[in-house]
Structure 1
Amino acid sequence: MLYFGISGTVKLNGSSKNYVAVTGYLSGYNLSSTGGYDADINKTTSDTYSLVYSYTVDGWEYYVQTDYATSFVPQIGSEKEIRYNPDNPEEAIIVGTNSNNVLIFAGALFTVVPLFIIFGILASERRSLRISAKMVETAIGIIFSAAGYGAMCIITGKRSIKGFYEFFHSSFKLPLLIPVVLILIGIYMLIKALFLEKGAEQ
């Protein structure tokens, strides 16, 4: 997944490097999959949608759709940067979250988590229990914080606290609290490992 996500991003950046930026607006969404109870995973899933953005070039209105589906639908009229081919305005990309970003995020998690487990095992075997515990807590803090931040970027299509706030303000759903909780847990673990335990030792 990580390889395909990175290679897809490189290809997309190369093919769209001469595209022109314009502001697009969420005009609607198309149902991608219907939610409901899934017996295979024993849980209820939500409907997912592909988001449709409109943008204007030389007085003509065009539409572009996300190449991924989401259950988090922004408010109609929400702004998004669109980049279009000046030679063919119908050909455009949505700046921000795309299927490549999702693959990179998922691939990174599947890569980092096993490495972290291996690291924890080796650390417990080769170092004292106190040092090992501190290193593990630090690693957990980094992973939780990075995972929460990455999830927020994927869901909102933004990378800044301001962007996150704007999305929360206009399109809040309870599951959006999950990545926030991950970030808070990660920050707490980092503070605990790097500062609180050090202060306790003194």
Structure 2
Amino acid sequence: MKEEIFVLNSKKKNTNHVLHLILSIVTGGLWLLVWLAVAINNNSYNSKIDSEINLLMGIKPQPKRISPVVLVLITIAALIVYQAIDSSGTIATSSPVSKREQTLADISIRSEEFVNELSIMEVDFQITNKSEYAIKDIKIECVNKSKTYADLDKNVRTLYEYINAGQVLRVNKFNMGFVHSQRDFSICKAIDFKFADSL
């Protein structure tokens, strides 16, 4: 009888969770479904073997339980499916990025802010247009933050300049207006622009 139990135990399937975790990370979560299927299959198979072992040992059959690992995998898979479905109930698909969105993403801003005794912020900007389009009238937003990283307020101004494709524009002492008295630092970015060939 001990040999039969040993043989049955040796037939149990193990799920290599470390390997499946690595594959899930590499595939951006797509492998989670495979991992879930393998874990459920192995859990079901091992439950049948446990039932056979219990019968050999004369133990009353236990109710079937789902392993905690399988429960976690089911939860993760459900969250992925939930996030893939948008509020209208249809599966979200990534729409192509428009020319405008891509150009805005290609505008990078480095800034050095100075606040004078009147609480007016002046900024030295270095704006890089990495896109393939000439742009103008760049709207810049500076979010002012406290020492505790709380958002205090924001300043929005439009810089009426042309920046050709691949060009870097430097602007010194650009007046961004009044700032909060507890401002410690600011984060500036481009939030809008016009294409140079537009009116």
Which TM-score applies when normalising by structure 1? 0.26
Greater relative CO (CA pairs within 8 A, separation 6+): 1
Point out the structure with max Rg over C-alpha.
Answer: 2
Which TM-score applies when normalising by structure 2? 0.26
The structure where strand makes up a greater share of residues is 2
